[in-house]
Amino acid sequence: MTTTPRTAVVTGAGRGIGRGLALGLVGAGWDVALLGRSPGPLAAVAAEAAAARPGAHVVTEVADVVDRAAVEAAVARVEAAFAAQGGVGLLVNNAGVIEHQEVDLVRDDPDDVWRVIETNVRGPLLLSHAVLPGMLARGAGYVVNINSGSGHRPSPVYTGYGISKGALARLTTMIDRQYADRGVRVLDVAPGVVVTDMTRAMPLHDDRTQWTPVEDTVALVDAFGSGRLDALSGRFVRAGTDTEESLREVAARVVEADARTLRLVPYGPDDPVA
């Protein structure tokens, strides 16, 4: 178990999965900083959080996750706001976008593909770069990257989204390799298919009847940030399929097999590039 402060930064917190994560973490006893581009939705979520748990320390920060100066300034203000609690204990890199068209690369607009890659990779990179120094100075901290199976499985559409989530998975493994021995833990959490404006606008889900409750993702993020899944740092889990209990049961097997992580699969023990 960890003594890391129960304070969290959630990006993209004004709507969708970010809103659900922020409200869920507040309900689980976390103090939360809501970060997003639009002040109105952030203020509305902050009001919901205050009503759900009076006395919760909830702050809002307006910033675009791809704007380095804005991100660094916002994180500095959040660290100051949570100074009495010990600083930021958990970063949830949730903010993300997807292409405007559900098409293959040739039919897509490269500028739109790059917009997706930039938001989904540069955002978590900048937030992590800004938050990690405080965590390292305190010798403890948690980073959750909201990822997707699209980062591991090729798809006939949404090229930029798949590239970005694969890169995000590599960022997770890099943070784990560089800082695990200094007390920082990091996890890829795929939320499944949650009902949001983004998923409802995707033709891919037009006939979907089963959706993953956002509460399943909240449970995994809370368990990880609370130090109950430390053995799985650097790896990938999926809400709606994995639970805290099931993951704790298989954690030793996952580590022994070096599973649930982005890596090259060799063709055998004599593979020269393994």
CATH 3.40.50.720 fits 7-256, yes or no: yes
- Structure confidence at residue 81 as a pLDDT band (50, 70, 90): very high
**pLDDT score for 183:** 98
Where does the chain show beta strands of DSSP type E? 7-11, 31-36, 58-62, 90-93, 141-146, 184-190, 236-238
Q: Which helix (H) or strand (E) holds 75?
A: helix 68-81
Token digits of residue 96? 């993300």
Its pTM stands at: 0.94
Please determine, for residue 204, whether its predicted confidence score (pLDDT) is greater than 80: no
**From the CB of residue 255, how many other CB atoms can be counted at a distance below 10 Å?**
16
The per-residue pLDDT for range 117-166, each reduced to its tens digit, is 999 999 999 999 999 999 999 999 999 999 999 999 999 999 999 999 99
Q: What is the Cα–Cα distance from 265 to 263, expressed in whole angstroms?
A: 6
Please determine, for residue 2, whether its predicted confidence score (pLDDT) is greater than 60: no
The DSSP string of 23-71 is HHHHHTT-EEEEEES-HHHHHHHHHHHHHHSTT--EEEEE--TT-HHHH
Out of 158, 161, 179, 267, which one is annotated catalytic? 161
The per-residue pLDDT for range 42-69, each reduced to its tens digit, is 999 999 999 999 999 999 999 999 999 9
Among 25-34, 90-99, 208-217, the range scoring the smallest mean pLDDT is 208-217
The domains of the chain are located at 7-256
Q: What is the Cα–Cα distance from 221 to 29, expressed in whole angstroms?
A: 13
Q: What is the Cα–Cα distance from 18 to 214, expressed in whole angstroms?
A: 9
Active-site residue, 161 included: yes
**pLDDT score for 1:** 47
- Structure confidence at residue 212 as a pLDDT band (50, 70, 90): confident
Please say whether the beta carbons of 166 and 124 come within 8 A: no
Please determine, for residue 208, whether its predicted confidence score (pLDDT) is greater than 90: no
